[in-house]
């Protein structure tokens, strides 16, 4: 889908690592490169987050294609994917730093219970305290890479996953705080208080 944020992510013990990212062009096409510098290659999970409409209106769910192989000097195609509809809600609030509204980077993660993998889904920044992150009210659509295209996607409907996210706010000094938020039934307010 045009304007989607596309991430190549790898799992690590502290959390997901975005190896590279891009934005889908006006045709919905994208290329993630470079991904790995090693000659032995590896795999990444490709996370596709469609552009968000206004809160509470029809939007589109996140697509995740797991274990996409990466080989130096080669191109791997995941083909065309259909992005299913989803209501989009928001997590919003205020960040205070030492008691005063302040600057922070906010990152939303979503965990897929069936694979025990966590994905970075969205980010936002604030310089004056207020923030807002658009999030799908549904679970993501998942598929495992296959050279036989198209790749089949199945919706994550686990109660523990649908509309559930973890948001971490981090200030310029590196102080961070995380909170869980459930936007499956509507938008939610989540405030953060950071103190050195």
Q: What digits encode the pLDDT tens for the residues 115-144?
A: 999 999 999 999 999 999 999 999 999 999
Per-residue confidence (pLDDT) for residue 95, from 0 to 100: 97
pTM (2 d.p.): 0.90
CATH of the domain at 87: 2.60.40.10
Domain hosting 18: range is: 5-194
Buried b / exposed e over 121-142, threshold 16 CB at 10 Å, is: bbebebeebebebbbbbbbbbb
- Residue 35 CA to residue 72 CA, distance in Å, equals 9
Give which of 65, 77, 49 is closest to 133, Cα–Cα: 49
- Token pair listed for 73: 């000097």
- Token pair listed for 11: 């799992």
Give which of 104, 121, 89 is closest to 5, Cα–Cα: 121
Give the number of domains in the chain: 1
Q: What digits encode the pLDDT tens for the residues 82-115?
A: 888 999 999 999 999 998 999 999 999 999 999 9
- Token pair listed for 26: 């006006």
Whose structure tokens read 């192989």? Answer: 69
Give which of 150, 7, 25, 10 is closest to 77, Cα–Cα: 150
- Taking residues 54-64, report their average pLDDT: 79
């Amino acid at each position: 889908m045009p304007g989607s944020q596309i991430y190549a992510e790898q799992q690590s013990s502290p959390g997901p690592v975005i190896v590279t990212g891009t934005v889908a062009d006006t045709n919905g096409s994208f290329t993630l490169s470079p991904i790995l510098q090693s000659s032995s290659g590896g795999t990444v999970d490709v996370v596709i987050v469609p552009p968000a409409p206004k809160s509470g209106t029809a939007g589109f769910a996140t697509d995740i294609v797991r274990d996409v192989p990466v080989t130096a000097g080669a191109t791997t195609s995941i083909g065309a994917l259909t992005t299913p509809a989803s209501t989009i809600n928001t997590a919003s609030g205020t960040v205070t730093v030492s008691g005063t509204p302040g600057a922070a980077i906010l990152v939303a993660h979503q965990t897929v219970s069936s694979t025990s993998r966590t994905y970075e889904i969205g980010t936002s920044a604030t310089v004056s305290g207020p923030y807002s992150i658009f999030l799908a009210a549904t679970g993501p659509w998942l598929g495992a890479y296959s050279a036989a295209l198209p790749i089949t996607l199945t919706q994550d409907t686990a109660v523990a996953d649908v509309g559930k996210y973890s948001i971490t706010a981090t200030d310029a000094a590196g102080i961070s705080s995380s909170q869980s938020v459930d936007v499956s039934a509507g938008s939610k307010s989540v405030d953060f208080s950071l103190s050195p």
